[in-house]
Structure 1
Amino acid sequence: MITAFARSKVNLFLHVTGKRNDGYHLLESLVVFPEWGDRITVKKGKSITLEVTGPFSQLIGSTEENLAFKAAHLLKREGGSNEGARIVLEKNLPVAAGIGGGSADAAAVLKSLNVLWNIGFSNNRLGQIGLALGADVPVCLYGKPAMMSGIGEQISGLREFPKFNILLVNPGISASTGDVFSQLTISEKITSSDDFSGRTARELFIGLAAMRNDLEAPALEVAPVIDAVLSSIKEQKGCHLARMSGSGATCFGLFEEEEAAEMAARDILERHPDWWVQAAAVDP
């Protein structure tokens, strides 16, 4: 039996830089992985099965459409394995929330079954397989602070990345990625080539303030409540930056101190008990 932690993925900024003829959008994004996420357990079985538990298990939908389930079948085919697997997914992250839950689950399944089935694929090969499942799967396989570009397949690791604390807030709604992108007008603003390596947390926050999430404005058209989420985070003591992650609707706040992030989580949850709120460390 193998257990893996599928950490949430947060886009500290996300610039949409173009669109390919096949419909995929080109992007530039700084991605981190807070210490909070789903949990994957795999063990050998006669066939591939998926059991979903956890607080968000009822929102998963069809097993056949689940990225973790698809990842297992894709790896079995690509790796030429004759084995099966019993997969248990403990779903702790909200669904369709802009923090890469499904992609992180798929990445954890690929890594775990690569070992369980003794396939022996390299991380690069797993990334190629993962890209067929979704643009975020390769960076979730990498699992460390990174710059993403292209459609998500170009990944550059960062040196000496600082530790800090993050507050994740979701208002209990799903923002359709397709609906958000349908509202997008691609920005002509010049994007940054800075890889954000070698900075203190405070310097990182200052640099990020000049960046943006190009999907935030179109997401507000789809889900206006995101504005209230951002306002609730911005007003918290010790918050240096508030922004939306991915295509939403989860937003985040950046804090230097753990205590400040925890206090902010308690305050927001007290005022909005129907929201999902989680403070976590970002520890490279």
Structure 2
Amino acid sequence: MASSHILCHNNVFNLPQNSSRKSSLSSFSSHGSCSFGSKSRFAKTQFLKLLVSAKKQVEIVYDPDERINKWADEVDKQAPLSRLTLFSPCKINVFLRITNKREDGYHDLASLFHVISLGDVLKFSLSPSKTKDSLSTNAPGVPLDDRNLIIKALNLYRKKTGTDNYFWIHLDKKVPTGAGLGGGSSNAATALWAANQFSGGLATEKELQEWSSEIGSDIPFFFSQGAAYCTGRGEVVQDILPPVPLDIPMSLIKPQEACSTAEVYKRLRLDKTSNVDPLQLLDKISRDGISQDICINDLEPPAFEVLPSLKRLKQRIIAAGRGQYDAVFMSGSGSTIVGIGSPDPPQFIYDDEEYKDVFLSEANFLTREANQWYKEPASASATCSPPNDFSRDFSQSIE
């Protein structure tokens, strides 16, 4: 049985003797590395399966494939393509310079974007409907209507091409929201790519890239090969060769609190930003590799005003790392702190109660081949602890 990324401690809870299922499950705690909120939808979906063996072991498996496959079977079997599963990776900004405020209210930027190996999984099935897409997800709080960039991307593709394919989509969410990692933008780019595959490749990659800027500034980047120097609002994408080895490890650390992008830009003062030429940064990283002086992010000061605890987190990571990382910086408008050079977070992240609910992930840089979408690395299919509220909600459902 295929399963999503929420597989809890090797998929098994051991129930102690002479105790109820409720007390065993509700006492299960986590470090919070994959928590999506306090009211999990896992407990409410009929696609959670509880398997209890004679040894009183409980296995919890979330399996959207059963419904996806059932839906796809209803579609004409003669269709050239009826279902498709794609990896939807996120990105980091290795450096991010804000160079100007435009008359339209947006800011000009110059940034080295790079895709990394952390990502979501999107499953598409052709729907017999000719009026509406249907989106489901494992992540509470993610909108399922046309506020979601996935639905916006599919609507955009139909508008541009005149096609009438509608879809059932399941989003297996692993990238945290409000993280500065471009997870939603990646989902939109992946949806455009998928819609084009179902339509036999009516649009070129260049057209998909150009169209995508109509619904988001970061979306065009994902139609690069994985590394790009981006300017304008972010929609002007110049493909470059990866400036650093792809196997350099990194650690991603995101507190539960998110930074409002609008609030961060509101507090941005251009006279307080770096005056380093971004092209010099690009040249230096290509020549000398990643270092702390290269990984400039002009949005860090205003983000640290919005969320002072984020500044303290970065400072503690640098101090505790003692040379463990080549560079420590915030990605995008926050609130993810990236440590380049090691996959492991500092020990205080595990020891300090303040950080018990942070999101943690290791990652590497990632690229894609021409005319192919990004491939999910084998190491990305990792297991993680369930959120505290997941165990509580589920225990209540089996009383």
Q: Check the 8 A contact 1:269/1:275 in 2, yes or no.
A: no
Give the aligned residue type for 1:6.
S
Match for residue 221 of structure 1 among 296, 305, 317 = 305
Q: Check the 8 A contact 2:95/2:294 in 1, yes or no.
A: no
For structure 1, list consecutive stretches of 5 or more residues without a partner in the other structure.
none
Q: Check the 8 A contact 1:159/1:198 in 2, yes or no.
A: no
Residues 241 and 90 of structure 1: is their aligned pair in 2 closer, same or farther, counting only changes over 3 Å? Answer: same
Q: Check the 8 A contact 1:165/1:254 in 2, yes or no.
A: yes
Residues 109 and 239 of structure 1: is their aligned pair in 2 closer, same or farther, counting only changes over 3 Å? Answer: same
Aligned-partner Cα distance in 1 for 2:356–2:274: 39
Match for residue 189 of structure 1 among 267, 270, 275 = 275
Equivalence for 1:243:
329
Q: Check the 8 A contact 2:135/2:144 in 1, yes or no.
A: no
For structure 2, list consecutive stretches of 5 or more residues without a partner in the other structure.
1-82, 368-399
Aligned-partner Cα distance in 2 for 1:123–1:134: 16
Aligned-partner Cα distance in 2 for 1:90–1:232: 32
Aligned-partner Cα distance in 2 for 1:43–1:173: 34
Equivalence for 2:206:
124
Equivalence for 1:253:
339
Secondary structure of 1:58's match?
coil
Q: Check the 8 A contact 1:14/1:29 in 2, yes or no.
A: yes
Aligned-partner Cα distance in 2 for 1:211–1:239: 12
Match for residue 145 of structure 1 among 212, 224, 227 = 227
Q: Check the 8 A contact 2:253/2:359 in 1, yes or no.
A: yes
Residues 61 and 252 of structure 1: is their aligned pair in 2 closer, same or farther, counting only changes over 3 Å? Answer: same
Equivalence for 1:165:
249
Equivalence for 1:5:
87
TM-score by length of 2: 0.65
Aligned-partner Cα distance in 2 for 1:228–1:269: 16
Residues 104 and 269 of structure 1: is their aligned pair in 2 closer, same or farther, counting only changes over 3 Å? Answer: farther
Structure 1 residue ranges (4+ consecutive) displaced by more than 3 angstroms after TM superposition: 194-200
Percent identical pairs in the alignment equals 27
Q: Check the 8 A contact 1:127/1:141 in 2, yes or no.
A: yes
Aligned-partner Cα distance in 1 for 2:347–2:140: 25
Structure with more strand by fraction: 1
Residues 169 and 122 of structure 1: is their aligned pair in 2 closer, same or farther, counting only changes over 3 Å? Answer: same
Q: Check the 8 A contact 1:171/1:225 in 2, yes or no.
A: no
Q: Check the 8 A contact 1:233/1:252 in 2, yes or no.
A: no
Aligned-partner Cα distance in 1 for 2:308–2:196: 42
TM-score by length of 1: 0.89
Aligned-partner Cα distance in 1 for 2:161–2:155: 10
Aligned-partner Cα distance in 2 for 1:59–1:216: 26
Equivalence for 1:179:
263
Bigger RCO (CA 8 Å, 6+ sep): 2
Measure how far apart 1:261 and its partner are: 1.6
Secondary structure of 2:152's match?
helix
Give the aligned residue type for 1:180.
V
Equivalence for 2:289:
204
Residue 282 of structure 1 pairs with residue 365 of structure 2: yes
Structural RMSD (CA): 2.0
